[in-house]
Amino acid sequence: MEIIKELWGKAPDGKDIFRYTLKNTSGAYVQLGSVGAAIVSIVVPDKDGNLGDVVFGYPNPLDYFGDGPCAGKVPGRFANRIAKGRFSLDGQEYTLPINNGPNHLHGGPEGFQNHVWDSRIEGNAVEFMYYAEDGEAGYPGNLKAVAHYEWSEENELKLILTAETDAPTIVNLTNHVYFNLDGEGSGSVLDHKLELNASQYLPTDETQIPLGKPEDVAGTPMDFVEAKPIGQDIQADFTALKIGKGYDHCFLIDGAMPGQLTPAAELWAAKSGRKVEILTTQPAVQVYTGNWLKGCPNGKTGHAFEDYEAVAIECQHTPDAPNQPDFPTTVLRPGEVYEEAIIWVFTA
């Protein structure tokens, strides 16, 4: 495994931005950036052996700051939405910045994804670390978050997310990578086939906050238990799909157990023959079909994106968990270690 570190640019505050390339002996490689501990590129072979970049992203590192799609980055302190930017913990109420309708999304406008993380090569891995101070974006406790990436000879990308705190807090970390398995900038992903290990999803209100009770996907457009094209039912007359102009929903992973890797999803593109299988220790997966990509920065090929040209499959805890007592807890206390894993396995 070859790992190359290079200076990629400078942040507005003058901090150095680094890019890392992890290349295996077959020539397949991953690029990571220190803005938001981002997955910048994943270059893997298609069915004919031709290498191509399957990740949505930008050539200019400065475009990763404040981008609407949160391309390839690790949002925090809490990924996804918290209703009205409020939650209570141990009898204390906390208020967070509102940045998504009436709600708090991905840690707010100054979330982890919009900061340069410290970074280093650690053996055959690359590690990024972000230290969030007590009160940052309204969250309690000083929190140290680490994103540890490994790339294998078998074209498997492994991410281990850990966090520790010095006071009770909440934490929900994921990676917001988007895929187009036919290649970045190659058009719509609505013909990609998606399969989810999820027989239930979380219906939401019109602001995309879960209503609290899961519903079965069977007999609805939310059913991906058997693989089907992403676009097959995306225009269906179904309230959930109208709210977000497509899929932007949390699915509960069948058989998920804390600390155990469980298959979450498979995504396959017939044109290129590429497939990615996703496994995780997380209890849920948010599927977002790139419903609002138009107008974001141009891609690495200079391509101006349209909606639905990439899909994010984000392994995480459930949205608004701090306000929903029936959801798995996202509370982290001093002395505990938050640890979750996501593995992407690429084949063709």
pLDDT in tens, 242-276: 998 999 999 999 999 999 999 999 999 999 999 99
The tokens describing 66, both together, are 């404040």
| Buried-exposed string 149-159: b where 16+ CB fall within 10 A, e elsewhere | bbbeeebbbbb
Q: What is the rounded end-to-end Cα distance, in angstroms, of the chain?
A: 21
Note if 192 is an active site residue: no
Its pTM stands at 0.98
> 184, 266, 314, 340: which is the annotated catalytic residue?
314
User: In this predicted model, what pLDDT tens digit does every residue of 1-12 receive, in sequence order?
Assistant: 999 999 999 999
Q: Which strand (E) or helix (H) includes residue 30?
A: strand 29-33
Query: Which one is catalytic: 176, 192, 249, 317?
Result: 176
- Those residues with Cβ within 8 angstroms of residue 173's Cβ, 6 or more apart along the chain or in another chain: 74, 75, 76, 79, 112, 145, 147, 161, 163, 316, 338, 340
Cβ–Cβ < 8 Å for 281, 44: no
DSSP-derived 3-state class of residue 341: strand
The C-alpha atoms of residue 133 and residue 165 are separated, in whole angstroms, by 10
In eight-state DSSP terms, residue 293 is: -
Residue-by-residue pLDDT tens, the chain, 348 positions: 999 999 999 999 999 999 999 999 999 999 999 999 999 999 999 999 999 999 999 999 999 999 999 999 999 999 999 999 999 999 999 999 999 999 999 999 999 999 999 999 999 999 999 999 999 999 999 999 999 999 999 999 999 999 999 999 999 999 999 999 999 999 999 999 999 999 999 999 999 999 999 999 999 999 999 999 999 999 999 999 999 899 999 999 999 999 999 999 999 999 999 999 999 999 999 999 999 999 999 999 999 999 999 999 999 999 999 999 999 999 999 999 999 999 999 999
60 contacts 9 by C-beta, under 8 angstroms: yes
| Tokens representing residue 284 in the block | 């849920």
Question: Do 173 and 230 form a contact (C-beta atoms < 8 A)?
Answer: no
93 part of the active site: no
Please give the Cα distance from 106 to 98 (Å, whole number): 10
Taking CA atoms, 30 is separated from 14, 43, 73, 176, in Å, by 26, 6, 14, 15
Q: Which tokens is 264 given?
A: 């979450």
Looking at the DSSP bridge assignments, the partners of residue 275 are: 268, 347
Query: Under 8 Å CB-to-CB from 16, ≥6 apart: which residues?
Result: 7, 10, 34, 116
274 SS3 class:
coil
Domains, the chain = 2-347 (2.70.98.10)
Q: From edge to edge, which strands make up the β-sheet containing 156-165?
A: 118-122, 125-132, 143-151, 156-165, 338-347, 275-280, 262-268, 193-196, 228-229
**Residues 174, 160: Cα–Cα separation, whole Å:** 10
Which residues are CB-neighbours of 88 under 8 A, at least 6 positions away?
94, 322
Q: Residue length, the chain? A: 348
**How far apart are the C-alpha atoms of 153 and 2, rounded to whole Å?**
11
Work out the mean pLDDT of the chain and round it to a whole number: 97
The label of the residue with tokens 């090929």 reads: 301
